[in-house]
Amino acid sequence: MKIRMVTQMSGPRADGTPWPGYGAEFVVSDEEGRDLCAASIAVPVAEAAAEERQAERRPDPVDPKVETRGEQKPAEPAPTPPAPPAEKPAEAPPEKRGPGRPRKDSEPKG
């Protein structure tokens, strides 16, 4: 069975050889390959390649929020609205403030 390492392992393997690096492909017995794949240490190469090919053939899902850029005509400039007549702005009186906090000398003495 041919597998690809997806985890970096340290120390020697059961047969005394060092573990291959991350992403390395190598051949192991079917039993060892099954154990490594079950432990998420490696993935079978044939299945990984089949999934990649299948993903390439699968069309992307259509997302209604995504704008599609196909053959579009250039956008026409929006007509500019006519300028409003020049008027002198009326001077507004200053904004009135609220009553605020009462003064200390206006509080009832008790």
pLDDT in tens, the chain (110 residues): 888 999 888 888 888 888 888 888 888 888 888 898 899 888 888 655 555 666 667 677 777 777 766 666 666 777 887 777 666 666 777 777 777 777 777 667 76
Distance CA(73)–CA(76), nearest Å, equals 9
Identify the pLDDT of residue 14. Answer: 82
Q: Which of 57, 14, 18 is nearest to 33 (CA)?
A: 14
Q: Where are the alpha helices (DSSP H) in the chain?
A: 30-38, 45-57
Identify the pLDDT of residue 49. Answer: 56
Identify the pLDDT of residue 51. Answer: 59
- Which 3 state secondary structure label does DSSP give 45? helix
Distance CA(44)–CA(30), nearest Å, equals 10
